[in-house]
Every structure is written in C-alpha cells, then in structure tokens.
C-alpha cells in the first residue's frame, strides 16, 4: 500500500485525477481527516478534496507508472 499527499486547486484537476485513477485496476481511496472516499468517484473526491491537501491511498505496491502520471497533483 502506498500513501501520497495530493492537492487540487480547481474542479477540473479533480476530474483529470479521477480519469487517470480509473485507468488502473487497483483500488484507491482519498482520505481527509476521518473521511475516506473512493478515488475513482468524481463526486466523492469533489466533495472531499477541493482546495485541500488530502491523502491518496493506493492499495498496491506496483504503482510507479500511476505515480508518475499523478506527479502534477503532488502536494
């Protein structure tokens, strides 16, 4: 399992983030405080992450390609 901090300034960044995450088969969650949502859900991530730094939890250790694609969102 990998944990990465990500930040979004605008809603279109969240939509692009979810699009990228959905191309991969493994599960991913976004966590802010005690709230956790599915990272593959646009509505879930929008409700939790706009203008905040949140934790991305990837349920795999084989995710280097994904992490490279998500580099623009790194906090």
pLDDT by residue (tens digit) across 5-60?
999 888 899 999 999 999 999 999 999 989 999 999 999 999 887 768 899 999 99
Q: Percentage of the chain surpassing pLDDT 90?
A: 77
- Please give the angle made by the CA atoms of 65, 75 and 48, to the nearest 5 degrees: 95
What contacts 24+ positions apart, CB below 8 Å, involve 35-41?
none
Task: Look at residue 16 in the predicted model and tell me its pLDDT.
Answer: 95
Sheet arrangement for strand 2-7? 2-7, 53-58, 28-32, 35-38
Residue 29: both structure tokens together: 């969650």
What's the pLDDT at 9? 87
Report pLDDT for 51.
65
- Which domains, from first to last, does the chain contain? 1-71 (3.30.1340.10)
């Amino acid at each position: 399992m990998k944990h990465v901090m990500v930040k979004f300034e605008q809603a279109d960044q969240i939509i692009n983030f979810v699009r990228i995450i959905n191309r991969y088969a493994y599960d991913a969650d976004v966590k802010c405080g005690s709230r956790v949502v599915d990272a593959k859900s646009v509505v879930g991530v929008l409700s939790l992450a706009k203008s905040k730094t949140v934790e991305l939890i990837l349920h795999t250790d084989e995710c280097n390609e994904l992490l490279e694609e998500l580099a623009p969102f790194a906090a």
